[in-house]
Structure 1
Amino acid sequence: MGTHNTISFEMARERFIQDRGTWSPSWEAVGSLDPTFLDAYRKLSTIPSRSGHLEPKVQELIFLAVDANATHLFAAGVEPHLKRALELGATREELTEVLELIATLGIHAMNIGVPILVEELRVAGLDDEASLDGHQQELKAEFTRTRGYWHEFWEDILRLAPDMFEAYVEFSSVPWRSGPLSPKVKELIYIAFDTAATHLYEPGLRLHIKNALGYGATAGEILEVMEIASTLGIHGPLTAAPALVELTNTDTPQQNAASDEEGQA
């Protein structure tokens, strides 16, 4: 990290704690290596809270979706965001629903893979392109009714793998049938992990932005989800900085001011 610091470690730490309300050994390590970098991250990470398009509780749900989804799994951030969400009034049921929503990410293997399979089957003359039968039409109607949309990429999945599609309809519909979060917030959760740099699933991102707008989301709210997702890059320094400090420790600041709570990025 850089050596041309323009702010002291003590000042950077004070500002960070004041604005973010958290501190940890990992933040201590990042700040001790380069307080200017820590202060710059503080400014970046507090943009969503300053703009305030989403209520603080929903912001924490977005942070949780970014940290806990299967393409990122930043374990050190999960518990702090769960705790903060609970402090802000989130219920166990709401947090459970976030976990259920992010669990749908795995189906993107089918969303990406099946269209490619169909293209190659057609090139090889092996795709009979059969129409949906009566049961498949019922599954399509059920998905549309429960999830509130239909997209063409589901068509071939339903046609070629109806058992998988039927099981996925049941699996993905659980939070839509019984979850307490509004449809708009559900769609913002999907946007969070689709737009995250560890996933970047463009078809789903486009679809869920459209759905969120249909449920009344504003451009500011959707941008705020993207701003929160944009902060996940700090998890690299948070993970590596403590080891760097330990391996090169000479005159870094004392770490006795650090709390036991892990980083809330």
Structure 2
Amino acid sequence: MTVSQREIDTQAAELLDGVADGEDLTELQVALIEFALRATSSSLDTRGSRHWAQRAVAAGATLDQLHEIVTLQSSVGVHAFFESSRHLASMACPEGGWPPLDERRQQLWDKHIGGTKYWTTMQEEIPGFLESLLRMSPEAFEGFIFYCGLPFRAHLVPNITKELISMASDASTAHRYLPGMRMHLRNSVRMGAGRRAVEHAIRLGATSPGFVGVE
């Protein structure tokens, strides 16, 4: 099944039921989202990303902030990692199900996942991925946790803006990864985003370019 824009809009509307209108996106947020939608592996629109980088700087962004977004967007390709890891783990699962985690894996789980809200939300939207990755490769599990945390360590761009960027990217015409869109939409609302900002970001994703490529 090919994911349609109608499906994106329907699921977003359901998740926004009861959410207050709130404020719309700022000029700077729009420029940052437009930049991010082009500075991603699913688009590779280098001309467009340069244009929107200039617009973002004119709206007050720093180059360090733009690079934090580049780092954030560099992980978009990880969604193939999510789905392939879940599939391979299901193939590797012994008859009767997986045994309890061994001591090493349990320590890694407790250290990095525990009851953290971000990872709990990921488990709800992408069930089985984190455990599948941990069982298949503890090394890849640790590397994933470290790498995905990089754009959130310096806090150059507010986390709510990064969640809106990730949501728009997952809903974009070149990507359409609905589990991620749902997760980041929920995170955005939890951080204070209202209906107007979320719907605006989704519209930006809907009008973003498809895959452009690099000559």
Q: Deviations over 1:75-116 (max 9, x none)?
A: 220111001100110012211111011111121122111222
- Which position in structure 2 is the counterpart of 1:136? 105
- Which position in structure 2 is the counterpart of 1:102? 73
- Which position in structure 2 is the counterpart of 1:71? 42
C-alpha spacing 1:90/1:102, structure 2 compared with 1 (3 Å): same
Offset, 1:183: 1.8
Pick from 131, 148, 166 the counterpart of residue 118 of structure 2.
148
Within 5 Å, which residues of 2 pair with 1:21-36? none
- Which position in structure 1 is the counterpart of 2:156? 180
- Which position in structure 2 is the counterpart of 1:194? 170
- Which position in structure 2 is the counterpart of 1:206? 182
Higher helix residue share? 1
TM-score, normalising length: structure 1: 0.62
Q: Deviations over 1:189-236 (max 9, x none)?
A: 111211111111111111111111111111211111111112225x79
Aligned AA (1:187): E
Gaps of 5+ in 2: 1-22
Pick from 46, 54, 59 the counterpart of residue 88 of structure 1.
59
Percent identity over the alignment is 27
Aligned AA (1:148): Y
**Given the alignment of the two structures, is residue 160 of structure 1 paired with residue 130 of structure 2, yes or no?**
no
Determine the C-alpha separation between the residues in 2 that align with 1:103 and 1:148. Answer: 19
- State the number of aligned residues: 184
Structure of greater Rg:
1
Determine the C-alpha separation between the residues in 1 that align with 2:92 and 2:38. Answer: 38
- Which position in structure 2 is the counterpart of 1:216? 192
Determine the C-alpha separation between the residues in 2 that align with 1:94 and 1:72. Answer: 20
2:37–2:205 contact (8 Å) kept in structure 1: yes
TM-score, normalising length: structure 2: 0.76
1:232 aligned counterpart, secondary structure: coil
1:147–1:176 contact (8 Å) kept in structure 2: no
C-alpha spacing 1:57/1:139, structure 2 compared with 1 (3 Å): farther
- Which position in structure 1 is the counterpart of 2:14? none
Determine the C-alpha separation between the residues in 2 that align with 1:164 and 1:209. Answer: 26
- Which position in structure 2 is the counterpart of 1:227? 203
2:82 aligned counterpart, secondary structure: helix
